[in-house]
């Protein structure tokens, strides 16, 4: 191993995090459901900025159409079924479906079913976890879901300060 590789390895971490140890947040309308913020570059100490979460979207709900000007996203469907609308074209999603979204691409997720769907979300560089925490309400395992609640009054400011470019304003 080179001296540089040994130095890099000595500065990095390797660990396992339990599912329950990840902070979770109830999400407001129109998504409802909840977010589990699993890892980010702060918790890992890694050199690459990223965030990794799961998002559960309730039946009849959606993630409104939006764009990330500087970030790329990966979605991996863990449970349920839904639809992704990418640049206006709709694609069905089921367990195992994978979606890649490059910088500046419009995207929107819809749950038309009668069961929640859950996907793993990776964003590079990170920051999506900060957005979810700022707009959500803390959630503890086993807590009943709250009644649907509105996004914060300053959601537009939070979007601008985190990872959003254009966002569909029809839900403001």
- Residue 134 pLDDT exceeds 70: yes
Within a domain: 66: yes
Spatial separation of the C-alpha atoms in residues 136 and 146, rounded to whole Å: 11
Within a domain: 132: yes
Which tens digits make up the pLDDT trace of 10-37? 678 899 999 888 999 999 999 999 999 9
Tokens 């570059």, located at residue = 41
Within a domain: 2: no
Number of structural domains (the chain) is 1
Domain, as residue range, for 96: 25-145
Q: Which residues pair with 93 in a beta bridge?
A: 82
Spatial separation of the C-alpha atoms in residues 13 and 81, rounded to whole Å: 35
Question: Is 127:165 a contact under the CB 8 Å cutoff?
Answer: no
Which tens digits make up the pLDDT trace of 135-170? 999 999 999 999 999 999 999 999 999 999 988 877
Within a domain: 160: no
Q: How is residue 155 written in tokens?
A: 């959601």
**What pLDDT shows up at residue 172?**
61
Within a domain: 166: no
Report the CATH number that the domain containing residue 84 is assigned in CATH.
Answer: 2.60.120.10
Question: Is 68:51 a contact under the CB 8 Å cutoff?
Answer: no
**Taking phi first (over 0 means left), then psi (-120 to 50 degrees means alpha), and beta for anything else, what does residue 166 get?**
beta
């Amino acid at each position: 191993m080179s001296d540089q590789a040994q130095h890099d390895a000595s500065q990095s971490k390797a660990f396992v995090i339990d599912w329950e140890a990840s902070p979770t947040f109830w999400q407001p309308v129109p998504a409802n459901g909840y977010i589990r913020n699993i890892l980010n570059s702060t918790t890992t100490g890694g050199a690459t900025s990223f965030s990794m979460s799961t998002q559960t979207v309730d039946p009849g709900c959606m993630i409104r159409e939006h764009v990330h000007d500087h970030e790329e996203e990966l979605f991996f469907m863990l449970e349920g079924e839904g639809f992704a609308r990418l640049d206006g074209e709709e694609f069905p999603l089921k367990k195992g479906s994978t979606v890649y979204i490059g910088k500046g691409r419009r995207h929107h997720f819809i749950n038309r079913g009668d069961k929640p769907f859950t996907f793993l979300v990776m964003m590079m560089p990170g920051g999506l976890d900060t957005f979810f925490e700022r707009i959500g309400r803390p959630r503890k395992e086993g807590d009943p879901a709250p009644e649907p609640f509105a996004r914060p009054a300053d959601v537009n400011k939070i979007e601008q300060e985190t990872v959003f470019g254009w966002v569909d304003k029809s839900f403001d």
